[in-house]
Structure 1
Amino acid sequence: MSTASESDHAALVKSLDLPAKVALLTGATTFTLAPEPAVGLGEVRLSDGPTGVRGLKFSGGRVVALLPNATLLASSWSEESLAEVGRLLAEEALAQRIHVVLGPTVNLHRSPLGGRLFEAFSEDPLLTGRLAAAYVRGLQSLGVGATLKHLVANESETERDTVDSVVDEATLREVYLLPFEIAIDDADAWSVMGAYNRVNGVPATEHGHVNNGIVKGEWGYRGLIMSDWFATRTAAAAANGGLDLVMPGPDGPWGDALVAAVRAGEVDEAVVDDHLARLLLLAERVGALGTPRDYPDELPAPDSAVRREQLTRLAAQGMTVLRNESEVLPLDPALSVALIGRHAVETIGMGGGSAQVNPPYQVSIAEGLGAVLDRLTVVDGVDVRTRPVPARGGFLTDPVTGAPGIRVVLRDAAGTELEQRHVAAATTMVGMDDDFEGTVATAELSGTVTRSGAVELGVMGVGGWTVRVAGDERSFALRTSGKGFGEEVLTPPISTHAYDLSEGTVFHATVELPHGADWFGGVAQFGLIGHGASRPAVDVIDEAVRAAAAADVAVVVVGLTEEQETESVDKHTLHLPGAQDALVEAVAGAARRTVVVVNAATPVIMPWRERVDAIVWAGLPGQEAGHAVAAALLGTVEPAGRLVTTFPTGDGRSPAWSVTPADGVLAYAEGPFLGYRGHHAGRAPEPAFWLGHGLGYGRWEYADARVVTGDSPGVTVTVTNTGPRESREVVQVYFQPAARDEPVRLAGWAAATVPAGGSARVVVATDRRMWRRWDAATGAWGSVAAGGELLVARGLGDVRAVLPLG
């Protein structure tokens, strides 16, 4: 899309007075920017977007496509696939007239405990940067802006709004800033989002060294830097520190305070002008400045055949075969299969927090395999949650319409009805997306229970509750713990109670909202909880063992939930929750062959990994989860993924582990030796699975590996598929510098799809940015010392050739 010259934007800026300029630098609403007819600026609409374009509502918005999560998409190691993802998201955005998508997330997997790693691509900066650049190119090719986030050193969630990430300058530049640099350098991402945390003592939203000095200065970035939502705390410091836009609005720390700071000489008006010029450039790029853009008349619906094919393929191709003894996979569809596990019947398709969207449906693995296997037995598994979730799967239905979900009635202090909603997800937001006059004082939530027997019912959300079920009435108050930012929205308090009910019983709850607006800006989430009563683990495991012994193959599905993989909360262990390990051990002891599917986005500990026949890491596969897992297990789509993060053998056995600040400080003490780099250097024990590991359904021989010269050294190698099926191989090249204080690093990769018995000559170019190092003494980039080796590998646990450099 063509853009006006910088002088044209400058003239538009100069035509406005100071208050008018500043007014445009804070959002107009939660997800929009204000128009200004005087300069031809229309409304700019933004949306969260890591796994789908949710739209302008945080909760209860329109139905949109739910994509596989970032780690699953990245496991394809395919820039072509990520460009397709970008185009898909752009189409989803255009269907809603959204101008800017708040993604991709390019923070790294520093510690596997990070709760929000499911939104980020990998632990490696080059892999993350190149995949992000492809995603950005795809998104922006259709005129929808991308937003790289979160700048910078934002790799964990504990105390995320106050933590000080302490990182040495070389590591900051060589590792944590590198994905941002690549996505800007290679794809010109149109916007960047500043993080909540501090970096070396300075809030990210005020970090002049990073924002002005490096990003806008050294990199020559012309785009816009916006804040994360509610992250900005100051006027002059943030404006001078390189922040261009405060989100959300309409309130915030700028406005009159920034106008006063300019008039007091604390901020030069030229700084404000630069911020606004960058906003106008973004607006023009996305078609909101000057002549309004055109929008396509027809785009694929979220549940269309086009989307079903795309989302199934994108999910299945990223799934990673970690183990496959005796080639038990792909499964023979004629075999009898016992499908076991809570994640089989309640498959997790997305993580928690701002990544959540409202999909048209979510296919469970039980549904997906049931559609393609004639001899399938399904057995529910052990409990996997400590925190109940809103009712799902039609457990509650709307008493008015009968549709799955609940009825919500919102009233003001006088009892006047403000709005009545059907909520399919059994949870709703109050205070953020309200588009009616008046202020909500009470919310009435109701649902009809669709089964008889022992059940657990409950409520979630801050306030004073009255709950009525079958003549039983309970009143109580729920408050947040005060330990996290935005708990009212991200982890609202809950209360549950056990009942013995008949089908058709109406569950009714009323909540009086807290007084005042000090609770997360008057925003909170409310919902109804409902599910069958838990069974003793020993009974569940006994049932699973009997089913496994009677089948040809047992497929056990285990994993994590949004309790562990979510915004605002980090994990404390990598062990599977509940008695899932005991379930796998018992099934493996009884079954003829055992396949484990791991429904999780990030590493888990697998104490049983040597006692099962196959392991498939399935990530969070999105709305087509069950169909994608079925395609991968049966080989309809090859699960040719390669791990994007290293799986340690136990808790604490990673180069970087703790995500808990000490006196407010989180020290990145491992320097550049995070993930596989630290394991390879002996700074952590041998992992269970290395970054880059993945078996697919081929068998591979490597021959005639050679170094080739160019801007940076490259490699050519012949790969031969000795397996019985066509397969995709990902040839990885790692650079091991000669200097002992320099870590090994991924330097390049290339893929080839080869028929059974065939060979291909693969050329791998390494990235020039992996051959430099930051010289702290001179404050400049220099070259890595001569020498070292190139490692040609299928992950560092399977090195196929070592090529010395002169």
Structure 2
Amino acid sequence: MDIEKALKGLDLPRKVRLLTGSALFALWPEPEIGLAPLKLSDGPTGVRGAELRGGVIACVLPNATLLAQHWDTALAREVGEVLADEAAAQQVHVVLGPTINLHRTPLGGRLFEAYSEDPLLTGTLAAAYVQGLQDKGIAATPKHYVANESETERRTVSSELDAKTLREVYLLPFEIVVEDAAPWAIMAAYNKVNGIPATEHTELVEGVLKGEWGFDGLVMSDWFAAQSTAESANGGLDLVMPGPGGPWEDELVAAVEAGEVAESTIDDHLSRLLLLASRTGAFGAERKWPADVPAPDSEVRREQLRRFAAGGMTVLTNNGVLPLQDPRVALIGRHAIDTVAQGGGSAGLRPPHVISIADGLTSLLGDRVSVVDGVEVRMRYAAPGPGVLRDIRATTFDASGEVLASREMEIAELAAYGGWAQGAASIEVSGEVVLDEPTRMLAGVRGFGDWTLEVAGEQHATRLAWADGIVEEALLKPPFWTTEVLVSPGDRITARVREASALVGLITQPVPRPPADAIGAAVRAAREAEVAVVVVGLTDEQETEGFDKTTLALPGEQDALVAAVAGAAKRTVVVVNAATPVLMPWLAQVDAVLWAGLPGQEAGDAVAAALLGDIEPAGRLVTTFPRADSDALSVVPANGALPYTEGTAIGYRGASEPLFWFGHGLGYTTWEYGPASASFVDGVVSAVSLELTNTGERSGREVVQVYLRPVSEPVRLIGWAVADVADGETVRVEVPCSSRVQRTWDDGWHPLRGGELLIARGLGDIRVTLPADQE
């Protein structure tokens, strides 16, 4: 590899051409200098590939918050290794993850993709994840740099925050991951920071990231985020994505020729791109891709993903009903049957399967489980799940009606943008309904465009008008139209759309029944069982890229369902299939709550293992749960600005009597904290040591957490350690403590002195208090 020689071999237009993507997820090759095409893929909990919908089959891991609830760097590294294998199987060089923005407010729609509300926990886990990926030659791309904690007006909003808050909280995860793991790429965010777009923020990119921290990797834009030419090129951005097109290309050549951008700046950008290519095997020596990577549905992967999911689940409350002891169970709820494995947006991908909670629990308990559907949980209709349609086919046509391409599909939905259907004048999607007898169903379409629908001998036409310029709506919340029809076995549903934009698909589902009917059936089943397990949660309507939540309440009549079942059942366990906090008005009425997150493709088997105690759900919360919507910080900008008025006091740092504290989790055993002592280096806490005893009747995993409560600053996590301890055993636990959070910013870093150390099982269960001063 000779980057200097390569630069000298290219004229300015060819250099600049390489600095904008060649496609949605690809970079240009340059054979003359030995540069092969680079492939990128969205992450961060799966490697989707180039297709926005219906692409390659890939592992769907548990979501980031569920993985973070292990508080385990070894597991985070193992996750990175799995994703590296998945990328290598697809010959992908760069994974666009991890997401290391913070959970500033639980109303943020994209929190499921990010680790936690705490900068130290987030940065430490992210560093391990990056190491797992890059040790196998796949580039990681921590994102989104920086202060990108909500989705409302995300392409234009200015996050307004002072230097202290920026340095101590929002830059810190990036600082940790850069200094500890040296990622090969970082993604600049959509938003502005104090009025300056993140893609052209010279102070933060050139000054802090590349200057202070010595980052030698590549800075790419988020997709379509770069809007300027000279400003972004001079501000430190190295690569504009996607392409072709965008604000660079010919405009950047002209800017260099006009003296607005130095050619040495172009050379620096290209040097970083070639270094990325060299590190990932696309420049210099040809990369040899492995041929023996485990398949997404192989037993080795399924075991890993079950363990990743179940071990991170969190027991929020438990009066002794968990783990279940082989009872007769009434399993209730739409999420039990249609379990949500992943969130919406760029993190979404196509799994080999999703094990529902109903299938997972039934596989272990057999006929001791009765399954009852619950109330509706979606306000908008989605494409049908597996087994609803068969012989699904999509066909594209040119303007004259000639067939361009035709493919068999596994799902009745595809992307009209960025995939094989792009550029078609019209698209047809069809499938045969799987039925045993004539049934009244909802049939319809989703996606912008002019539609015709044929079903059961009827033809319908509708226009779903394009909301000009709202890309997120086109991809993530497309409009839909349905009609109720009598469908018979063998009937085929066919839809054709003209002027398609972004996403097109069929809708086929049973006619929804009234909530009272669903709740009545659930109550009857609950009375007959020893334990009622009610599964509730959110969907990708709430947990998605592109949109924030307007409430923390469960959608539909799920709260009424839980309350009714709890009033009828002998014992009630609630499983929450969601990544981010929800309100729980029924909490005092139920016997246990298991926080299950978005568990990935092995969801049902993982939940069953956690409920029965085959795998201890030893997770600890990574977000503070508010009691009411009014306790959550706003995500709605005013006049284009979103002020971070809480300063450094986000999450647990500013909380008072939340529903559940950050760090909370009961597991399946009990713990006694013994004598503790602190060690100091240069007056800063370097470690805490204590005796820990498992006083329960089961082996278990504890997460010993250490917080610093300074004299005049918010409390903050400074260290933690994970301990696996057999029942009755006493061990000594050493908790390393980070100096990075024992400092304060005031035109430079200054150490925090004084206060007290809190050794805790979460901030709601403080076990030992020590002075934070060295005696």
Give me the TM-score of the superposition, normalised by structure 1: 0.94
Amino acid at match of 1:394: G
CA distance in 2, matches of 1:64, 1:353: 16
CA distance in 2, matches of 1:617, 1:276: 46
Work out whether 1:385 is the aligned partner of 2:353. no
The Cα of 1:51 is off from its aligned counterpart by 1.6
Quote the residue 1:636 is aligned against: 614
The more displaced of 421-430 and 756-765 is: 421-430
Q: Contact (CA 8 Å) 2:333, 2:374: kept in 1 or not?
A: yes
Please give the residue correspondences for 1:148-187 in structure 2 after superposition, counting only pairs within 5 Å: 148-187=142-181
The Cα of 1:792 is off from its aligned counterpart by 0.3
The Cα of 1:14 is off from its aligned counterpart by 2.6
Quote the residue 1:474 is aligned against: 460
Quote the residue 1:123 is aligned against: 117
The more displaced of 354-363 and 439-448 is: 439-448
CA distance in 2, matches of 1:547, 1:435: 47
CA distance in 1, matches of 2:469, 2:359: 39
Quote the residue 1:207 is aligned against: 201
The Cα of 1:356 is off from its aligned counterpart by 0.8
Quote the residue 1:618 is aligned against: 596
Quote the residue 1:360 is aligned against: 352
Amino acid at match of 2:260: E
Change (3 A) 1:720 1:244: same
The Cα of 1:482 is off from its aligned counterpart by 4.5
The Cα of 1:445 is off from its aligned counterpart by 1.3
Quote the residue 1:702 is aligned against: 673
Quote the residue 2:636 is aligned against: 660
CA distance in 2, matches of 1:273, 1:169: 31
Question: Could you report, residue by residue, the CA deviation over 1:488-522 in whole angstroms, capped at 9, with x for unpaired residues?
Answer: 222221111112222222111111116xxxxxxxx
Give the unaligned 5+ runs of structure 2: none
Quote the residue 1:721 is aligned against: 694
Q: Contact (CA 8 Å) 1:336, 1:376: kept in 2 or not?
A: yes
Quote the residue 1:745 is aligned against: 716
Which secondary structure does the structure 2 equivalent of 1:150 belong to?
A: coil
Quote the residue 1:682 is aligned against: none
Amino acid at match of 2:335: H
Give the unaligned 5+ runs of structure 1: 399-405, 515-522, 680-684
Amino acid at match of 2:598: L
Q: Contact (CA 8 Å) 2:456, 2:485: kept in 1 or not?
A: no
Quote the residue 2:586 is aligned against: 608
Quote the residue 2:236 is aligned against: 242
Quote the residue 1:114 is aligned against: 108
CA distance in 1, matches of 2:155, 2:593: 37
CA distance in 1, matches of 2:108, 2:507: 27
The Cα of 1:457 is off from its aligned counterpart by 1.2
Which secondary structure does the structure 2 equivalent of 1:252 belong to?
A: coil
Which secondary structure does the structure 1 equivalent of 2:20 belong to?
A: coil
The Cα of 1:738 is off from its aligned counterpart by 1.2
Question: Could you report, residue by residue, the CA deviation over 1:67-124 in whole angstroms, capped at 9, with x for unpaired residues?
Answer: 1000000100000001000000000000111101000000000010000000000000
Which secondary structure does the structure 1 equivalent of 2:471 belong to?
A: coil
Counterpart pick for 1:328 among 298, 321, 334: 321
CA distance in 1, matches of 2:143, 2:411: 28
The Cα of 1:435 is off from its aligned counterpart by 7.7
Quote the sequence identity (%).
Answer: 58
The Cα of 1:453 is off from its aligned counterpart by 1.8
Quote the residue 1:76 is aligned against: 70
CA distance in 1, matches of 2:289, 2:434: 43
Quote the residue 1:402 is aligned against: none
CA distance in 2, matches of 1:431, 1:676: 41
Change (3 A) 1:98 1:608: same
Quote the residue 1:416 is aligned against: 402
Work out whether 1:343 is the aligned partner of 2:335. yes
CA distance in 2, matches of 1:589, 1:148: 47
Work out whether 1:443 is the aligned partner of 2:439. no
The Cα of 1:434 is off from its aligned counterpart by 2.4
The Cα of 1:609 is off from its aligned counterpart by 1.0
Give me the TM-score of the superposition, normalised by structure 2: 0.98
Which secondary structure does the structure 1 equivalent of 2:664 belong to?
A: coil
The Cα of 1:483 is off from its aligned counterpart by 7.8
Q: Contact (CA 8 Å) 1:116, 1:570: kept in 2 or not?
A: yes
Q: Contact (CA 8 Å) 1:385, 1:561: kept in 2 or not?
A: yes
Q: Contact (CA 8 Å) 1:10, 1:273: kept in 2 or not?
A: no
Work out whether 1:690 is the aligned partner of 2:682. no
Change (3 A) 1:484 1:112: farther
Counterpart pick for 1:509 among 472, 490, 495: 495
Aligned length: 768
The Cα of 1:805 is off from its aligned counterpart by 2.2
CA distance in 1, matches of 2:83, 2:480: 34
CA distance in 1, matches of 2:668, 2:62: 21
CA distance in 2, matches of 1:772, 1:355: 35
CA distance in 2, matches of 1:675, 1:339: 34
Which secondary structure does the structure 1 equivalent of 2:393 belong to?
A: strand
CA distance in 1, matches of 2:469, 2:693: 55
Which secondary structure does the structure 1 equivalent of 2:431 belong to?
A: strand
CA distance in 2, matches of 1:56, 1:83: 25
Which secondary structure does the structure 2 equivalent of 1:433 belong to?
A: coil
CA distance in 1, matches of 2:691, 2:440: 62
Counterpart pick for 1:578 among 556, 560, 568: 556
CA distance in 1, matches of 2:417, 2:361: 41
The Cα of 1:152 is off from its aligned counterpart by 0.7
Amino acid at match of 1:725: R
Counterpart pick for 1:793 among 747, 760, 768: 760
Q: Contact (CA 8 Å) 1:480, 1:492: kept in 2 or not?
A: no
Change (3 A) 1:419 1:475: same
The Cα of 1:484 is off from its aligned counterpart by 3.6
Question: Could you report, residue by residue, the CA deviation over 1:3-26 in whole angstroms, capped at 9, with x for unpaired residues?
Answer: x5xxx4233223211111101000
Quote the residue 1:519 is aligned against: none
Q: Contact (CA 8 Å) 1:459, 1:528: kept in 2 or not?
A: yes
Question: Could you report, residue by residue, the CA deviation over 1:639-675 in whole angstroms, capped at 9, with x for unpaired residues?
Answer: 0000010101111113xx1101111111111011010
Amino acid at match of 1:733: V
Please give the residue correspondences for 1:519-558 in structure 2 after superposition, counting only pairs within 5 Å: 524-558=502-536
Which secondary structure does the structure 1 equivalent of 2:383 belong to?
A: coil
Quote the residue 1:279 is aligned against: 273
Quote the residue 2:132 is aligned against: 138
Quote the residue 1:429 is aligned against: 415
Which secondary structure does the structure 2 equivalent of 1:525 belong to?
A: strand
Work out whether 1:670 is the aligned partner of 2:646. yes
Amino acid at match of 2:758: L
The Cα of 1:431 is off from its aligned counterpart by 3.1
Q: Contact (CA 8 Å) 1:444, 1:509: kept in 2 or not?
A: yes
CA distance in 2, matches of 1:490, 1:340: 28
Change (3 A) 1:804 1:187: same
Amino acid at match of 1:358: R
Counterpart pick for 2:247 among 230, 243, 253: 253
Q: Which runs of 4+ in 1 moved over 3 A?
A: 480-486
The Cα of 1:717 is off from its aligned counterpart by 1.1
Q: Contact (CA 8 Å) 1:396, 1:447: kept in 2 or not?
A: yes
The Cα of 1:416 is off from its aligned counterpart by 1.0
CA distance in 2, matches of 1:481, 1:499: 29
Quote the residue 2:748 is aligned against: 780
The Cα of 1:608 is off from its aligned counterpart by 1.0
The Cα of 1:471 is off from its aligned counterpart by 2.2
Counterpart pick for 2:190 among 191, 196, 216: 196
CA distance in 1, matches of 2:56, 2:349: 9
Work out whether 1:591 is the aligned partner of 2:573. no
CA distance in 1, matches of 2:20, 2:769: 54
CA distance in 2, matches of 1:626, 1:432: 32
Work out whether 1:567 is the aligned partner of 2:545. yes
Counterpart pick for 2:302 among 296, 308, 311: 308
